[in-house]
Structure 1
Amino acid sequence: MKVLEVGCGPGSFAEDLVGMDLTCLDPSPEMLATAQPRVDAARAARGEGPAEYVQAIAENIPLPDNTFDMVFCLFSFRDFQDKAQGLREIYRVLKPGGRLVICDAGKANKLHGFFGYLWMNSVVQVMARLIPKRKTTLEGSRCQLHALRHQRILPKHDA
């Protein structure tokens, strides 16, 4: 499976991707310099070859169309200067039927964090049990975002 991580940062997620043909993309040469030894050491310990590293922004990915089965964008979507263009580029490099996983969160102060914790661990837990398990779609002016229940998308592996 060919996987791209957009905004790989220091490689803390990429180092745990087992058995993937991995490309790490980040605009910062310093982050890539940190990620490369970390990720490649973890891969070597598992008998895997090195990942590929690309310095670029999400809005201009210098990779061919229809290349990746899956793209991860973890805590970097908020940093895109042009989110719509970044999504267009990601979908361009995804193979037909490929998957995009975006995980991001807004910044919250301590009071918001406390109430968010209460909300997530009370109301949301109850609602998750009551609402039918089906896709919901949020339509924006330029894209559709799908909210899905928790879903395992990578196989389990022993550490």
Structure 2
Amino acid sequence: MSVSTVPAVLDAVLAAVRRALPDVEVWDGQPVKGTEDDVIMIGFTGDPEEAAVTSTITREQMARDPDREAYNITCLASSWQGQQEDAKAVRDRAYELVDGVAGALATDQTLAELVMRAMLSTAAFAQAQTDRGAVATVQFVIHVDAYSR
């Protein structure tokens, strides 16, 4: 039995999103090099020093095992169109990326029975005009309910 399902769930979410969006750059956490025009970062808040996963582990009723676990995985989806000032285009594309993640999770909310449920729960949106064009970013949270294994 491990203390948490977080490592396995991160792997499963990454695999599901990469299958669902094969033409999109999907990073495990913070990118380590320059990114493409559209990018999804699983387990990254935008600040490398900020926790990307927050978890609470509790005992279920009177049982000694298994432990109940609930946590949030913070992720980012970003679109940049380069030298274009079209805020609507990047905003729409950023939300398309989030829709793709939601669709990947909806296909199997248990992540092959790894958890009870994984689903998008909240999102925050930001857009900017930069000297390199319009950019839109959606920070979203994947909420997970599980029993640690």
TM-score by shorter chain over 0.5: no
**Higher-strand-fraction structure:** 2
Instruction: Write 1 or 2 for the structure with the bigger share of helix.
Output: 1
The higher radius of gyration belongs to: 1
TM interval, shorter chain, is: under 0.3
Higher relative contact order (CA 8 A, sep 6+): 2
